[in-house]
Chains A and B, each alone.
Chain A
Amino acid sequence: MNAVVAGITYRAVLGRRRVLLLILLPLVLLGLAVLLRAVGSTDERAVVTLMQVYAIGTMLPLLGLIAGTGTIAPEIDDGTIMHLLSKPISRPVIAVTKFAVSASLLAVFAAVPTFVAGYLLLRGEAGIAAGFALGALIGGIAYSAVFLLLGVITRHAVTIGVVYAVVWESLVGGLVPGARNFSIQQWAQTFAGQLTSTDFFKPTVTMGFAVPAVLIVTIGAVVWAGQRLRVLSLTGDE
């Protein structure tokens, strides 16, 4: 971890139009929570739907995509990363720092709003607020690592990330049961399930699979990103 790298990265991600998307997505979650409260639909089933479909199913991967690729892809794209790479700092340290920045952003913009929305609707009932906040936190960490890696290895990180988030996790994960084992969303739900006690929510992936999967994916992706950064060649535009 390097404080200067982290400082520059925070300013790069938060200083541009990117931050609008980072704010908009959790705002919509809170808006929906307020709306559900207003129409008096504060039962566990409705809240679980909100959490599963919106918080974990839509907001988390999108925020992961924006924060994870946003910490490194634009810098590689326009060559500003040279400023960091031409210094006596090991490249894996730079990768780990960028990963930590992205994960912390997801904790703030995804996990906290998830907890607030859940708490707004149910207070502490059935552990739903805390459970899904934990799920969002863990999922955010895994997404940060994966999308950081994508940002390092390809110039089309966002497009590929979109295909992964939309096509793989929603379509394939929804239709092919076996594919659910290989979905960060599903792992996040498994962690959420550890704290919740409601009849309306049953994660499909076991903890015995999800814990090693999250660990392997996160550590593997960050280490790989660091190694790729060591051999990064920067050549021209486009």
Chain B
Amino acid sequence: MNIELTQVSRWYGNVVAVNDVTMTIGPGVTGLLGPNGAGKSTLLHMMAGFLAPSTGTATLEGRPIWRNHQIYRSIGLVPEREAVYGFLTGWQFVLSSARLHRLPSPEDAAAKALAMVEMEGAKDRRIETYSKGMRQRVKVAAALVHEPQVLLLDEPFNGMDPRQRLHLMDLVTELGAAGRTILFSSHILEEVERVAQQIEVLVAGRHAASGDFREIRRRMTDRPHLFRVRSSDDRRLAAALIADASSGAVSLSEAGLEVQAVDFRRFTWLLPRVARDAGVTVWQLSPADEDLESVFSYLISRSTR
């Protein structure tokens, strides 16, 4: 199932939280990435039917999401706020979710969902005695109880310990591989990088980038690239490279050379020639900052400039 946003904006008074965003979230795992205050929650709330777009439309398979409670048959929502009914046990909470969905056999569905998040052991304790990570897992179980085609998670990994985090990541990956549409928001790059095939980057309310993050990185040719070079004579190569305007900075260490290329295209053209002319053999050339973090900090610095 696809969630489609078409030219969606949302403002609160004079503050624009989401600005003219058009995106389609399809099957698989999508990460919604952005710094705090970028409008991730606002966007997610509009996809979940808890907020009306000020302009534009948000639809699920062509059906409008706002003021349409039928969409919850296909959507599971894990809200960010920790609050759940503390006086219910985990079992009662997930069971109530199954009953509210009018599932044919709510007990079986609840047991299955609790097993999926490995919460069978603590299911008979009241939720107020749970740790943050356990609450998060129970919320995930309640959202999964009706096996929704679409799962929306707002900062799902917050407050989980590393083992629980890995477990939930695996679960999300599995569900995505099974063809469900999964969207989760996060400001932690490592999480997104690890789970999501597709990222949507939101910066200051604007849809800054979308797609596979390596692909996004490749498109950003107007920024300095950092390369690691190992060669037969690093010092000599460094001297030769810095002489050209395409290198911004070159640093030399025991691990090799780090070159900041200001002009990407010229640098890739230049390096082999410079090495040949200097009589240096290049053993290894690798991009040093191809991870999501550097992509992200680039996007942020560009839009706030």
Contacts and interface: CB of A to CB of B under 8 A. Distances in A.
Interface of A: 2-5, 7-8, 11-12, 15-16, 78-80, 82-91, 230-235
Contacts of A231: 52, 67
Interface stretch (B28-36, B70-78, B155-163, B271-279): B70-78
A3 B100 CA distance: 9
A16 B86 CA distance: 11
Contacts of B71: 88
Contacts of A233: 45, 50-52
Interface string B33-68: 000000000000100111110000000000000010
Given A5-B100, A8-B88, A80-B85, 7 more contacts: A2-B100, A8-B96, A11-B85, A86-B77, A86-B143, A91-B69, A233-B52
B97 A83 contact: yes
Contacts of B143: 86
A88 B72 CA distance: 5
A88 B69 contact: yes
A88 B101 contact: yes
6 contacts: A3-B99, A79-B81, A83-B85, A83-B93, A88-B100, A233-B52
Given A8-B88, A230-B67, A83 B142 contact: yes
Interface residues of B, number: 30
Contacts of B97: 83, 87
Interface in B76-96: 77, 79, 81, 83-85, 87-88, 93, 96
A4 B72 contact: no
A235 to B, nearest CB: 8
B69 A83 contact: no
B158 to A, nearest CB: 15
A16 B85 CA distance: 12
A7 B100 CA distance: 12
- The 10 A-B pairs with the shortest beta carbon distances in the complex, nearest first, are A79-B81, A87-B100, A78-B83, A86-B77, A79-B83, A88-B72, A4-B99, A88-B73, A80-B83, A15-B87
